[in-house]
Amino acid sequence: MILVTGGAGFIGANFVLDWLAQSNETVVNLDVLTYAGNRENLATLDGDPRHIFVQGDIGDSAVLADLLTRHQPRAIINFAAESHVDRSIHGPEDFIQTNIVGTFRLLEAVRDYWGKLHGDAKQDFRFLHISTDEVYGSLAKDEPAFTENHRYQPNSPYSASKAASDHLVRAYHHTYGLPVLTTNCSNNYGPYHFPEKLIPLMIVNALAGKPLPVYGDGRQIRDWLYVKDHCSAIRRVLEAGSVGEIYNIGGWNEKPNIDIVHTVCALLDELSARLDGHSYREQIVYVTDRPGHDRRYAIDASKLERELGWKPAETFDTGIRKTVQWYLQNQSWVANVQSGAYRAWVEKNYSGRSA
């Protein structure tokens, strides 16, 4: 049995679905179900005895102690996090509470649980912490991509809180011997992605006939990783990663944001054309950039390939086509996640930005 935290969110839900598609090992799934945690992501697992869902917070020490005692997991994969830069700018406290305090309380509960294990159960136990490339800061256009030895230079409340959580995980390994693994991934995309992030926002707005807001000049560069490739990398790190090590996970797909938007528009023109015959590109609007917007992230994932034999299965072209097709085929999911709270957030974040 494994315990997954944040397993109703975008990456966590994809991981749980992929895990149970390939294994009969039970997953205990702990998620507090904030705006981005959605039980509908896991609807295909309803009634599946291999999936035990628990609504709860990683910051709740009593809930954690009970789950660990009752289920005795052999591994914990920690996806639970607040994870949106814009939201962290508007309200950083939630990010401090979840990403720093929550991770601390989770580590404390796990340290107590692991300390009571014996023999092979203690030797084989793993705590896998999922983090982000944003902890490394921003790169100039011609700088080498981030490696696992890159200095931490977080530039937003979100990335600073994730950097702090990474440091706590490292400290619990070096101080207490807790058998940890950490992964730092690049920008994910794919099914079940909440439509506040770039790719799903462009798809949803385009189909609704709304403006496609692009920050600044749109030339910010990101490395893009298809979420199912990310899940396969996590499984590989859990299976064979060396205790205490960090592994960067990337898609080898550096692209400017505006190129991503153009690609999405071209695919929608092909797969779900506008009734007036015009291109969705006509809906693009450049808006005021967000404060402190990092210009470039790039992941060097060669360590993961060299040591554990992993590399992504999808190119950006294949992954983005699958993603657009998924959103076109799952319009009811899209409609259901766009609650009043989501609409209020979009209005708050974008209405004040001049075009």
Cite the active site residues: 133-134, 158
246's tokens = 């960090």
Residues paired with residue 3 on neighbouring β-strands, in sequence order: 28, 76
Residues paired with residue 212 on neighbouring β-strands, in sequence order: 284
DSSP one-letter code for 150: P
Tokens 């999922």 appear where? 130
Give 129's contacts (C-beta < 8 A, 6+ positions apart): 78, 103, 165, 166, 169, 180, 181, 182, 183
| Cα–Cα distance for residue pair 314/320, rounded to 1 Å | 9
Nearest to 265 by CA among 187, 180, 198: 198
296's tokens = 């470039």
Nearest to 135 by CA among 113, 151, 123, 119: 151
Tokens 């009734």 appear where? 275
Residues paired with residue 27 on neighbouring β-strands, in sequence order: 2, 51
